[in-house]
Structure 1
Amino acid sequence: MSDRLRVGLVGTGWVAHQHATGYRQAAGDVVEITAACDPRAEVLETFCDRHEVPRRFARAEDLIASGEVDVLALLTPPAVRDEVIDPALAAGLHLLVEKPFATTGARAVRYTEAAESAGVRLAVGQNFRWFPEYQWLDQRLDRPDAGSAVYLEARSFQDRRQRPGQWRAEEHKLEMAIFSVHLIDRLQWLARTEPVTVSARTRRGLEAEPIPGEQLTALLVTFDGGVIAHLTSTWLARSLPVNDFRIDTTTGSAVVQRPGPMAGDARARADFGSGPEEELFPDRADDGGHASRSYGLSMRELATAVREGREPRHSGRDNLRTMGIMEAAYLSAARGGEVVGIEEALA
């Protein structure tokens, strides 16, 4: 193994460009992209030429068998997970899998246990954790004066209606699996305790739009110790966008926000009893931008974990809490908002 881990990308669509740019910005000293795979020849060639990727494969199995990579970044739609993850684990490759990393809670458990049995590091692409305002909040909550969580709230209001013609428009698990999974991950990560139950409601969208998946999600999560979390996320907001996160603790409160989910200057405010605190995080293009850097920092954490022989902070095991909440929410919504336990969702 060389000084830098060799990374192969499976899927070379929009998000692959974000990964490639972020790796150069924030992880170029620990990883290098040596191969990429996509059955769409023109898309693959365009991506590899742009990012100077030397090895190119039409099939994932050929990339996995090539011996050209140490880490596989799986950047495909969720339905492709099974046919790539199992062979990669059998080949002993470490994995970074885009969220959600499985199509069901049970499969998420199986992948996690298989990776642990194989001694392979499995990380989930919850790159939103590496946005600077959330890194600041995570570190601020670790200080003794921050107390312990009582209530958390995540809100996102976007005009992001889906229309027929793209793969997402065919998904039955849509807004929550594509976007709210990031908000769910933030809730479970910052609650600092285990989720227990979920109650949820979803809405598909306008009747005139034949999209099978939900485009609005509202859920209530209870955590061990009595912590409560609420999430509202919609792609149907026509104006006045909102993207913020609040936590109330036994000693005070903190709020982080930015104009868009992945763009715009971020702000943080907190008061844990010693007076107000404020931070501004400019989203500068000359620094690569917060979004693309977050992908690089996510891969950097996996690469560092591989080198140090430990689990990454965004491991599959950690993400079972995220998957458990999301799967319980889908079950709850299908049952008219009935309370569903996390254990059932992961069974």
Structure 2
Amino acid sequence: MVRARPSSGRTRVTPGETGATVNRPLRVGLVGTGWVAHQHVAGYRSVADGVIDVVAACDPRADVLADFADRYTIERRFPDATSMIASGEIDAVVLLTPPSVRDEVIFPAMEAGVHLLIEKPFATTGGDAVRYVEAAEQAGITLAVSQNFRWFPEYVWLKERLARPDAGTPRYLEARSFQNRPQAPGVWRATERKLEMAIFSVHLIDRLQWLAAAHPVTVSAITRPGFDESIPGEQFTTLTVEFEGGPVARITSSWTSLALPVQDARVDTEIGSAAVGRVHPMAGESWGRAQFGDGSDEVAFADDDADPQMARSYGFSGREFAEAVREGRQPAHSGRDNLKTMGIMEAAYLSADRGGEPVAVAEALATAAHA
């Protein structure tokens, strides 16, 4: 449902209405015009053309904003999110900043009836995540989280393969990522205490909770820093998640693996197994294999430099968000759904701080905001 402030001059759309207003593209304003903004625009133009129209962007860096907006022919340009939201010219904000920038954008957008697609992690604490979701639901605002890694082709295939009647029920899930991803001092990430898991493993966590299709209960985790002691955040993470009904998930992710990169995942059921993988976490060919009972499947997915999988994944995420707004339903990657992802991640950080002891996800989501 697209809602607008009475003073904005925008047309309010209610699910079930017909006509050009309902069918027009969702007018989106981007908050932040860095690297990830380019990925979003490329993805929208690849797979969400006619569904999303990026009509505005804001960035306090005037030169960066001008270069970005000129490149993509975006006419409406603002120095900050407040003025962009107040303009009345957008239906939704796509928030692309580091996680420290949240309240000052999220709550003004909700007050203006503007929907929200937020980059992961969409909050700095479990308590904040709950606060945003509850506020969005009370305001009638669609809130989604940009967990775009779900839309990499091998994971789309894996989700669909596990949904078939012959696949059984997930019992054990595992994801591994070993890559050499050195962190440079001086950038915003270099000062973050929550580092590898908040930036990368959150994608692995989200994929496994999505595939498990069950509520997480407890998490045990260990983290380690990288080789440069001036960077306080973790660069190695391993965690175990227990879900309601018995499924167990294991995730291991390293940014300090100097050679032999690995990116893979598997799901075991009472009938068989399925696995997916690729060499590079965000580019290149990927594959999937499954064997359930007497049947087996094997697929491969090429990457196209002119229309890369990475950008397309952002496009599919944005399209699902826009279509959910249009249809008046919750998107697959809603804030409510992402509470499971945030709960696992927050519980993992608490567990690591406590020497690896199990932490309940319910406790992690109840942590006070900004604790």
The two structures have a TM-score, normalised by structure 2, of 0.92
| Residue 153 of structure 1: aligned partner | 174
CA apart distance, 1:28: 1.1
Matching residue of 1:301: 320
Deviation at 1:249, TM superposition (A): 0.6
Q: Which residue of 1 aligns with 2:102?
A: 81
Q: Is the 8 A contact 1:124 1:316 kept in 2?
A: yes
Indicate conservation of the 8 Å contact 1:123/1:316, yes or no: yes
What is the deviation of 1:143?
A: 0.6
1:196 and 2:224 correspond: no
Provide the secondary structure at the position in 2 that maps to 1:336.
coil
What is the rounded CA distance, in whole Å, between the counterparts of 2:158 and 2:41 in structure 1? 27
**Correspondence for 2:121 among 70, 90, 100:** 100
Assess if the C-alpha contact under 8 Å between 1:163 and 1:209 holds in 2. Answer: no
Q: Is 1:250 matched with 2:306?
A: no
Instruction: List per-residue Cα deviations over 1:3-22 (Å, max 9, x = no partner).
Output: 11100000000000000110
CA distance in 2, matches of 1:277, 1:31: 35
Q: Name the SS for the 1:78 alignment partner.
A: coil
Equivalent position SS for 2:56: strand
Structure 1 residue corresponding to 2:354, chosen from 332, 335, 340: 335
Of 201, 216, 233, the residue aligned with 2:253 is 233
State the distance in 2 between where 1:188 and 1:316 align. 14
Q: State the alpha-carbon separation in 1 of the partners of residues 69 and 174 from structure 2.
A: 41
Tell me the equivalent position of 1:320: 339
Q: 1: CA distance between counterparts of 2:46 and 2:225?
A: 38
Work out the CA distance in 2 between the residues paired with 1:54 and 1:24.
Answer: 17
CA RMSD of aligned residues (A): 0.8
2:219 paired with 1:212: no
Tell me which amino acid in the other structure corresponds to 2:298.
E
- CA-to-aligned-CA distance 1:149-188 (integer Å, 9 cap, x gap): 1100000001002120111111110000000000000110
Unaligned runs of at least 5 residues, structure 1: none
Offset at 1:259?
A: 1.1
1:345 and 2:356 aligned: no
Which residue is 1:261 aligned to?
A: 281
Deviation of residue 284 (structure 1)? 1.4
Q: CA deviation at 1:81?
A: 1.0
Q: Distance in 1 between matches of 2:156 and 2:296?
A: 19
Mean Cα deviation higher: 163-172 or 227-236: 163-172
Give the C-alpha shift of residue 289 in structure 1.
Answer: 1.1
Provide the secondary structure at the position in 1 that maps to 2:295: coil
Aligned residue type for 2:161: R
Amino acid at match of 2:97: T
Classify the secondary structure of the residue corresponding to 2:129: helix
Q: Could you report, residue by residue, the CA deviation over 1:249-299 in whole angstroms, capped at 9, with x for unpaired residues?
A: 11100000011111010100000112321001111123x111000101100
2:200 pairs with 179, 182, 197, which one? 179
Q: What amino acid maps onto 2:164 in structure 1? A: R
Aligned residues: 345
Residue equivalent to 2:243 = 223
Deviations 1:216-239 (A, max 9, x none): 000010001111110000100000
Structure 1 stretches of 4+ moved >2 Å: none
* Cα distance in 2 for residues equivalent to 1:308 and 1:275: 38
Q: Any conservation in 2 of the 1:149–1:191 contact (CA below 8 Å)?
A: yes
SS for the counterpart of 1:323 is helix
TM-score, normalised via structure 1 length: 0.98
Report deviation, 1:68.
1.0
> Match for residue 112 of structure 1?
133
What corresponds to 1:271 in structure 2? 291
Structure 2 gap ranges (5+): 1-10, 12-20, 367-371
Which residue matches 1:170?
191
Deviation at 1:209?
3.4
Q: 1:219 is matched by which residue type in structure 2?
A: L
User: How high is the sequence identity, in percent, across the aligned residues?
Assistant: 66
Q: Is the contact made by 1:161 and 1:215 (CA closer than 8 Å) also made in structure 2? A: no
Amino acid aligned to 2:102: R
CA distance in 1, matches of 2:345, 2:104: 22
